[in-house]
Amino acid sequence: MILEDERIDDLQCKGYQIIQKPKGFCFGVDAVLLSDFAKVRKGQRVLDLCTGGGVIPILLAAKTEGESFCGLEIQPDYADMACRSVKMNHLEDRVEIVCGDVKEVTGRFAPASVQVVTVNPPYMTEHHGLTNLHEPKTIARHEVLLCLEDVVRAAAHVLPEGGSFFMIHKPFRLAEIFACMKQYHIEPKRMRLVHPYVDKEPTMVLIEGTKGGRPRITVEAPLIVYQDKGIYSDEIFRIYGKRYL
Protein backbone atom coordinates (compact mmCIF):
# COMPACT_ATOMS: atom_id res chain seq x y z
CA MET A 1 0.00 0.00 0.00
CA ILE A 2 2.81 2.45 0.79
CA LEU A 3 6.31 2.86 -0.62
CA GLU A 4 9.59 3.09 1.31
CA ASP A 5 9.68 6.90 1.13
CA GLU A 6 6.07 7.30 2.32
CA ARG A 7 4.17 7.35 5.60
CA ILE A 8 0.53 7.20 6.68
CA ASP A 9 -0.84 10.21 8.58
CA ASP A 10 -4.07 10.42 10.58
CA LEU A 11 -6.45 13.13 9.28
CA GLN A 12 -8.31 13.23 12.63
CA CYS A 13 -11.62 13.06 10.80
CA LYS A 14 -13.85 9.96 10.78
CA GLY A 15 -10.76 7.79 11.09
CA TYR A 16 -9.52 8.73 7.61
CA GLN A 17 -5.82 8.58 6.81
CA ILE A 18 -3.59 9.88 4.04
CA ILE A 19 -0.34 8.71 2.46
CA GLN A 20 2.41 11.34 2.30
CA LYS A 21 6.06 11.68 1.36
CA PRO A 22 7.98 13.13 4.36
CA LYS A 23 10.80 14.31 2.10
CA GLY A 24 8.43 15.57 -0.57
CA PHE A 25 5.53 18.01 -0.39
CA CYS A 26 3.12 17.38 2.50
CA PHE A 27 -0.16 19.22 2.96
CA GLY A 28 -0.25 22.07 5.46
CA VAL A 29 -2.74 24.12 7.42
CA ASP A 30 -3.81 25.92 4.23
CA ALA A 31 -5.44 22.76 2.83
CA VAL A 32 -7.25 22.12 6.10
CA LEU A 33 -8.50 25.72 6.25
CA LEU A 34 -9.75 25.55 2.68
CA SER A 35 -11.64 22.31 3.34
CA ASP A 36 -13.37 24.06 6.26
CA PHE A 37 -14.08 27.28 4.34
CA ALA A 38 -15.56 25.56 1.28
CA LYS A 39 -19.31 24.99 1.25
CA VAL A 40 -20.53 21.80 -0.40
CA ARG A 41 -24.23 20.98 -0.34
CA LYS A 42 -25.86 17.58 -0.51
CA GLY A 43 -25.67 16.02 -3.96
CA GLN A 44 -23.13 18.47 -5.40
CA ARG A 45 -20.18 17.45 -7.55
CA VAL A 46 -16.77 18.91 -6.66
CA LEU A 47 -13.53 19.31 -8.61
CA ASP A 48 -10.33 20.01 -6.66
CA LEU A 49 -7.58 21.47 -8.85
CA CYS A 50 -3.89 20.95 -7.95
CA THR A 51 -4.99 18.24 -5.53
CA GLY A 52 -1.51 16.98 -4.60
CA GLY A 53 -1.94 13.98 -2.32
CA GLY A 54 -5.72 14.32 -2.41
CA VAL A 55 -6.24 15.72 1.08
CA ILE A 56 -8.98 18.21 0.15
CA PRO A 57 -11.28 15.73 -1.67
CA ILE A 58 -10.86 13.25 1.18
CA LEU A 59 -11.62 15.85 3.86
CA LEU A 60 -14.62 17.19 1.93
CA ALA A 61 -15.93 13.65 1.49
CA ALA A 62 -15.64 13.24 5.26
CA LYS A 63 -17.23 16.57 6.19
CA THR A 64 -19.97 17.07 3.59
CA GLU A 65 -22.78 15.29 1.79
CA GLY A 66 -21.43 16.05 -1.67
CA GLU A 67 -22.18 13.41 -4.27
CA SER A 68 -18.73 13.11 -5.84
CA PHE A 69 -15.25 14.57 -5.52
CA CYS A 70 -12.58 14.60 -8.22
CA GLY A 71 -8.98 15.62 -7.59
CA LEU A 72 -6.82 16.72 -10.55
CA GLU A 73 -3.04 16.43 -10.13
CA ILE A 74 -0.33 16.86 -12.76
CA GLN A 75 2.45 14.94 -10.98
CA PRO A 76 2.01 11.18 -11.60
CA ASP A 77 3.67 10.12 -8.33
CA TYR A 78 1.35 12.31 -6.26
CA ALA A 79 -1.72 11.33 -8.27
CA ASP A 80 -0.87 7.67 -7.65
CA MET A 81 -0.34 8.35 -3.95
CA ALA A 82 -3.70 10.13 -3.79
CA CYS A 83 -5.41 7.18 -5.51
CA ARG A 84 -3.96 4.82 -2.93
CA SER A 85 -5.16 7.08 -0.10
CA VAL A 86 -8.67 7.02 -1.58
CA LYS A 87 -8.61 3.21 -1.70
CA MET A 88 -7.18 2.97 1.81
CA ASN A 89 -10.17 4.97 3.09
CA HIS A 90 -12.67 2.98 0.98
CA LEU A 91 -13.86 6.13 -0.77
CA GLU A 92 -13.71 4.86 -4.35
CA ASP A 93 -17.47 5.33 -4.78
CA ARG A 94 -17.24 9.07 -4.01
CA VAL A 95 -13.66 10.22 -4.71
CA GLU A 96 -11.76 9.97 -7.99
CA ILE A 97 -8.22 11.11 -8.71
CA VAL A 98 -7.25 12.12 -12.24
CA CYS A 99 -3.66 12.67 -13.38
CA GLY A 100 -3.71 15.65 -15.69
CA ASP A 101 -2.90 19.28 -16.37
CA VAL A 102 -5.11 22.13 -15.17
CA LYS A 103 -4.38 23.87 -18.47
CA GLU A 104 -6.09 20.97 -20.29
CA VAL A 105 -9.29 20.97 -18.23
CA THR A 106 -11.39 22.21 -21.16
CA GLY A 107 -10.50 19.06 -23.11
CA ARG A 108 -11.01 16.63 -20.22
CA PHE A 109 -14.05 17.95 -18.36
CA ALA A 110 -17.38 18.98 -19.84
CA PRO A 111 -18.58 22.57 -19.41
CA ALA A 112 -20.73 23.17 -16.32
CA SER A 113 -20.02 19.61 -15.13
CA VAL A 114 -19.49 20.36 -11.41
CA GLN A 115 -21.13 22.72 -8.94
CA VAL A 116 -18.05 23.45 -6.79
CA VAL A 117 -14.36 24.01 -7.55
CA THR A 118 -11.72 24.12 -4.82
CA VAL A 119 -8.05 24.91 -5.29
CA ASN A 120 -4.95 25.39 -3.16
CA PRO A 121 -2.67 26.50 -6.01
CA PRO A 122 1.00 27.42 -6.19
CA TYR A 123 1.29 30.87 -4.63
CA MET A 124 4.61 32.23 -5.82
CA THR A 125 5.47 33.73 -9.20
CA GLU A 126 9.18 34.34 -8.60
CA HIS A 127 11.65 31.76 -9.93
CA HIS A 128 14.69 33.48 -8.45
CA GLY A 129 16.93 31.10 -6.51
CA LEU A 130 15.13 27.96 -7.67
CA THR A 131 17.65 25.30 -8.68
CA ASN A 132 15.25 22.54 -9.79
CA LEU A 133 12.03 23.68 -11.42
CA HIS A 134 10.69 20.10 -11.57
CA GLU A 135 11.16 19.24 -7.89
CA PRO A 136 7.75 18.39 -6.30
CA LYS A 137 7.98 21.11 -3.65
CA THR A 138 8.79 23.70 -6.32
CA ILE A 139 5.84 22.64 -8.47
CA ALA A 140 3.51 22.82 -5.47
CA ARG A 141 4.67 26.27 -4.31
CA HIS A 142 5.73 28.13 -7.47
CA GLU A 143 3.92 28.83 -10.73
CA VAL A 144 6.28 26.79 -12.91
CA LEU A 145 3.66 24.56 -14.60
CA LEU A 146 0.64 26.87 -14.43
CA CYS A 147 -0.37 30.38 -13.43
CA LEU A 148 -3.27 31.96 -11.57
CA GLU A 149 -5.16 32.60 -14.81
CA ASP A 150 -4.93 28.91 -15.76
CA VAL A 151 -6.63 27.99 -12.48
CA VAL A 152 -9.43 30.55 -12.79
CA ARG A 153 -10.00 29.75 -16.48
CA ALA A 154 -10.35 26.04 -15.64
CA ALA A 155 -12.82 26.81 -12.85
CA ALA A 156 -14.90 29.02 -15.11
CA HIS A 157 -15.10 26.22 -17.68
CA VAL A 158 -16.40 23.49 -15.37
CA LEU A 159 -18.76 25.68 -13.29
CA PRO A 160 -22.32 26.52 -14.33
CA GLU A 161 -23.90 29.89 -13.66
CA GLY A 162 -24.23 30.12 -9.89
CA GLY A 163 -21.45 27.59 -9.31
CA SER A 164 -19.04 28.14 -6.40
CA PHE A 165 -15.27 28.68 -6.49
CA PHE A 166 -13.16 28.37 -3.33
CA MET A 167 -9.46 29.19 -3.17
CA ILE A 168 -6.74 29.90 -0.62
CA HIS A 169 -3.92 32.18 -1.71
CA LYS A 170 -1.59 34.97 -0.59
CA PRO A 171 -2.94 38.43 0.33
CA PHE A 172 -0.24 40.26 -1.62
CA ARG A 173 -1.86 38.95 -4.83
CA LEU A 174 -5.43 39.97 -3.99
CA ALA A 175 -5.70 42.69 -6.65
CA GLU A 176 -4.52 40.25 -9.32
CA ILE A 177 -6.82 37.50 -8.00
CA PHE A 178 -9.94 39.68 -8.09
CA ALA A 179 -9.11 41.04 -11.54
CA CYS A 180 -8.60 37.54 -12.90
CA MET A 181 -11.80 36.21 -11.33
CA LYS A 182 -13.83 39.07 -12.81
CA GLN A 183 -12.21 38.52 -16.21
CA TYR A 184 -13.68 35.00 -16.23
CA HIS A 185 -17.03 36.11 -14.74
CA ILE A 186 -16.43 34.64 -11.30
CA GLU A 187 -17.56 37.32 -8.87
CA PRO A 188 -15.73 37.51 -5.51
CA LYS A 189 -18.42 37.01 -2.84
CA ARG A 190 -16.67 36.16 0.42
CA MET A 191 -13.18 36.70 1.81
CA ARG A 192 -11.39 35.87 5.05
CA LEU A 193 -7.84 36.84 5.96
CA VAL A 194 -5.73 34.40 7.97
CA HIS A 195 -3.28 35.87 10.50
CA PRO A 196 -0.59 33.87 12.32
CA TYR A 197 -1.16 36.07 15.43
CA VAL A 198 -3.72 38.75 16.18
CA ASP A 199 -1.10 41.51 15.89
CA LYS A 200 0.63 40.19 12.75
CA GLU A 201 -0.11 40.79 9.09
CA PRO A 202 -2.19 38.13 7.29
CA THR A 203 -0.25 35.40 5.51
CA MET A 204 -3.16 33.72 3.71
CA VAL A 205 -6.56 34.65 2.32
CA LEU A 206 -9.61 32.44 1.78
CA ILE A 207 -11.80 33.46 -1.15
CA GLU A 208 -15.22 32.37 -2.38
CA GLY A 209 -16.55 33.35 -5.78
CA THR A 210 -19.77 32.73 -7.70
CA LYS A 211 -19.82 32.32 -11.46
CA GLY A 212 -22.09 34.99 -12.87
CA GLY A 213 -22.75 36.43 -9.42
CA ARG A 214 -23.67 40.03 -8.70
CA PRO A 215 -20.98 42.39 -7.36
CA ARG A 216 -21.00 42.29 -3.56
CA ILE A 217 -18.38 40.85 -1.25
CA THR A 218 -18.57 39.95 2.43
CA VAL A 219 -15.34 40.30 4.43
CA GLU A 220 -15.48 37.90 7.36
CA ALA A 221 -13.76 38.31 10.71
CA PRO A 222 -10.04 37.44 10.59
CA LEU A 223 -8.99 33.90 11.38
CA ILE A 224 -6.18 33.84 13.95
CA VAL A 225 -4.01 30.71 13.90
CA TYR A 226 -2.14 31.10 17.22
CA GLN A 227 -3.40 32.65 20.43
CA ASP A 228 0.13 32.47 21.88
CA LYS A 229 3.47 31.05 20.84
CA GLY A 230 2.97 27.37 20.08
CA ILE A 231 -0.69 27.45 21.19
CA TYR A 232 -3.38 27.25 18.54
CA SER A 233 -6.53 29.35 18.75
CA ASP A 234 -9.84 27.78 19.70
CA GLU A 235 -11.08 28.10 16.13
CA ILE A 236 -8.10 26.21 14.77
CA PHE A 237 -8.80 23.46 17.30
CA ARG A 238 -12.39 23.39 16.05
CA ILE A 239 -11.34 23.21 12.41
CA TYR A 240 -8.92 20.38 13.06
CA GLY A 241 -11.58 18.56 15.04
CA LYS A 242 -9.46 17.69 18.06
CA ARG A 243 -8.28 19.38 21.20
CA TYR A 244 -4.52 19.10 20.73
CA LEU A 245 -2.57 19.29 17.46
pLDDT at 136 (0 to 100): 64
Contact 32, 143 (CB under 8 A): no
Over 70: is that where the pLDDT of 206 sits? yes
Over 70: is that where the pLDDT of 132 sits? no
Looking at domain 7-240, which CATH architecture does it have? 3-Layer(aba) Sandwich (3.40)
**Over pLDDT 90: what percentage of the chain?**
76
**Pair type for strands 218-219 and 68-73:** unpaired
pLDDT digits (tens, 9 = 90+) for 48-105: 999 999 999 999 999 999 999 999 999 999 999 999 999 999 999 999 999 999 999 9
Residue type present at position 245: L
Kindly indicate the confidence band of residue 245, based on its pLDDT and cuts at 50, 70 and 90: very low
pLDDT digits (tens, 9 = 90+) for 142-187: 556 689 999 999 999 999 999 999 999 999 999 999 999 999 999 9
- Tell me whether residue 150 is exposed, middle or buried, using C-beta atoms within 10 angstroms of its C-beta: 0 to 12, 13 to 18, 19 or more: buried
pTM: 0.92
Q: What are the extents of the domains in the chain?
A: 7-240
Tell me the average pLDDT of the chain: 90
Nearest to 167 by CA among 125, 116, 201: 116
Over 70: is that where the pLDDT of 141 sits? no
pLDDT at 133 (0 to 100): 58
